[in-house]
Amino acid sequence: MKTFIVAATAVIVGALTAYQSRVNGALAVETGNGIQAALVSFGTGWLILCVLLALWRPYRDGVRAVIAAVRSGAMPWWQIIGGLMGGFFVGVQGLTVPLIGVAVFTVAVVAGQSTNSLIVDRFGLGPAGRQPINGARVLSAALAIVGVAVAVSDRLSGPVLSSLGPVLLAFSAGLLIAVQQALNGRVGAVSGRAVSAAFLNFTFGSLLLGVVFGSAIALSDFDAGVLPSGPWWLYTGGLVGVIFIASAAWVVQKLGVLLFALLSVSGQLLGALLLDIFAPTADNTLQWQLAAGVIIVGIAVAVGGAPRWLNRDRRGQPSPHLR
């Protein structure tokens, strides 16, 4: 039952990212700039976490535990900067999506994330420890890429596929997302509080985006857009981000980076499917390709998780070599 709860959490937070993408996309349209929208999203998430830390001492103690571990040398300093990679991701998203579109961006990111998740788990960068690269895990990563490609295939077009530079940049962002999730899991394990890990993540991510945004204003003729007065849901992206990062820091400790990536991607496609059914936009209606992609990624999850879920001892716990 506990494994089911952990897996369900990954799927649910993945589904929430589909909603977050729509919210941040709408905010980018309103402000006229994707970087500004990303900074607003990260900034509101950071403010939410500041309030939580102010109200609950255990969360503050978690941050202190991480700082103490870094000062003592028990934890390398570079393990707490996963937020920089998250900031890089949303920055790349804002720069490349207008050039290659959401569909190609999503495929490139999932390709990078799935591929690097295998490597990250193999070297034990995440808190779940070393996990071997075997046939089932490689097949699951490949199926995830295929599933996402099928899901967005109706939105792919020849001209954008020729934009190799932006595609490679999106792929590199996916590579770093796998590392970010591993590092956030490490921070969550040391702090004992997923919210404490999320606070450090949002602090570094907001700092990076703030520097980029400020540099653009200072060094070019770029002007900040006017923030819209509503609707209110335009500013909920940060809250969703807090839920995702905190949940990811917890789930990665239990399942590893690859399995979390597979579950969250399946949730993201499922969330997109539900949005297309119940809240379609004018240019985004339900297509069979999306439903097919959800099924394929679901199969990828089953293939990737089979060794962990089948090799359990009689007490219902993972076998020692899978811990």
Task: Let me know the angle formed at the C-alpha of 21 by 16 and 22, rounded to the nearest 5 degrees.
Answer: 100
The one-character DSSP state at 126 is: S
Burial 119-158 (b: 16+ CB within 10 A, else e): ebbeeebbbbeebeeeebbbebbebbbbbbbbbbeebeee
Name the stretches of the chain with pLDDT < 70: 1, 155-163, 281-286, 306-323
Contact by Cβ (8 Å): 142, 82: no
Residues contacting residue 56 through CB under 8 Å, at least 6 positions apart: 195
Percent of the chain with pLDDT over 70: 88
DSSP one-letter code for 242: H
Q: How far apart are CA 121 and CA 276, in angstroms?
A: 34
The tokens for 56 are 């609950």
> What is the SS3 assignment for 323?
coil
Residue-level pLDDT at 319 = 42
pLDDT, tens digit, 9 for 90 and up, residues 275-319: 878 877 655 556 788 889 889 999 999 898 765 655 554 444 444
What is the pTM (predicted TM-score) of this model? Answer: 0.85
- Spell out the alpha helix ranges (H) of 123-233: 135-151, 158-161, 164-191, 194-219
Helices 57-72 and 34-55, interaxial angle, to 10°?
100
**Per-residue pLDDT, 23:** 85
Domain that holds residue 6: 2-322
Structure tokens at 221: 């003729």
Angle at which helix 164-191 crosses helix 57-72, to 10 degrees, equals 100
pLDDT of residue 281: 66
Q: Is 312 left (phi over 0), alpha (psi -120 to 50) or beta?
A: beta
Residues 184-211 have pLDDT tens digits of: 999 999 999 999 999 999 999 999 999 9
How far is Cα 36 from Cα 34, in angstroms, rounded to an integer? 5
How many domains does the chain fold into? 1
